[in-house]
Amino acid sequence: TAPWNYLGCQIAQHKIRPQPLKPKVPDEMTLNDLQQLLGAINWLRPVLGITTEELHPLFELLKGDPALTSVSVLTKEAHHAIQKYSEAIGQKHSWRRHPELPIQLALVANKFKPFAVLFRDHLRLLEWLFLSHSPPKTVWRITEMHSKLIIKGRERLQPMDGCDPQTIYVPVTMDNLNLLVAEDVLFQTVLAGYTGQLSIHYPKHHLWAENGNLPLTAASRHQMQPVEGITALTNAS
């Protein structure tokens, strides 16, 4: 019976919920990193409905040594506050497709690794797209990461809506975008046949300005320990 869980998505009779997210936060953070994280959270609090009380354990970490390089150890309560924040972001998604609202693809710069979002109407997120944790080669250029995310976005949207994103937002300057389109063979290849728009001007909302400071990654779709059930296949004798 509904709902069903499949590859991280929750499928009900009338709606599909995208894959969950999890915060990727170390146990220790410098004051500078902590300030950037809290700055991003603070901008999005009105949209996500998170109270000051719920974020109190994080703000408490700002007390102490004022040096930007000073290290703070995240408490259990602080980790819980970050988890609550990531859950609130996970609730910002669409339940149904409105035919008059086009789907767009936004590439988001991030300290660890860029990711992408399929969305419509500024804040109606359809799906988060992440790169694999292990790079395919020793040196993986940022432009190659952007190209891979565009591939993932276009391939994912085809079965979802049978079309390409109306707009692809790329986190580069206009000069760099023009250079990529004119000179980068890989970038040209992943855009082959694309008839939509490329833009460096993201929708006017703080989500896109602060997304890069959010330590988010896709939740794991496997378990480290065996699960209860019949063993159908093993990779060793």
Query: Looking at residue 139, what is its pLDDT?
Result: 87
Mean pLDDT score of the chain, rounded to an integer?
78
pLDDT of residue 35: 85
Residues 107 and 114: beta-carbon distance below 8 Å: yes
Q: Where are the alpha helices (DSSP H) in 91-205?
A: 142-161, 174-183, 185-190
Q: For residues 37 and 61, is the Cβ–Cβ distance under 8 A?
A: no
Q: What is the pLDDT of residues 148-175, one digit of tens each?
A: 999 999 998 988 788 899 999 999 999 9
**pLDDT value, residue 36:** 82
Strand partners, 128: 117
Query: Is there a contact between 126 and 94 (Cβ–Cβ < 8 Å)?
Result: yes
Backbone angles phi, psi at 226, to 5 degrees: -60, 145
pLDDT tens digits for 134-152?
778 888 899 999 999 999 9
For residue 143, the model assigns a pLDDT of 92
Q: What letter represents residue 76's amino acid?
A: K
**pLDDT score of 88:** 76
| pLDDT one-digit tens code per residue, 31-41 | 888 888 887 77
Confirm whether 4-91 and 97-208 share one CATH topology: yes
- The pLDDT of residue 188 is 95
Which H or E run includes 32? helix 31-48
Which residues fall within 8 angstroms of residue 58, CB to CB, at 6 or more apart? 34, 37, 38, 41, 78, 81, 82
Q: The domain at 4-91 falls in which architecture?
A: 2-Layer Sandwich (3.30)
Is-above-0.75 flag for pTM? no
Does the structure show a pLDDT above 80 at 69? yes
Judge whether residue 7 has pLDDT over 90. no
Q: Which CATH class is domain 97-208?
A: alpha beta
- Average pLDDT score over residue span 84-90: 75
Give the domain ranges of the chain.
4-91, 97-208
Identify the band that residue 198 occupies on the pLDDT scale cut at 50, 70 and 90: very high
Q: Is the pLDDT at 237 greater than 50, yes or no? A: no
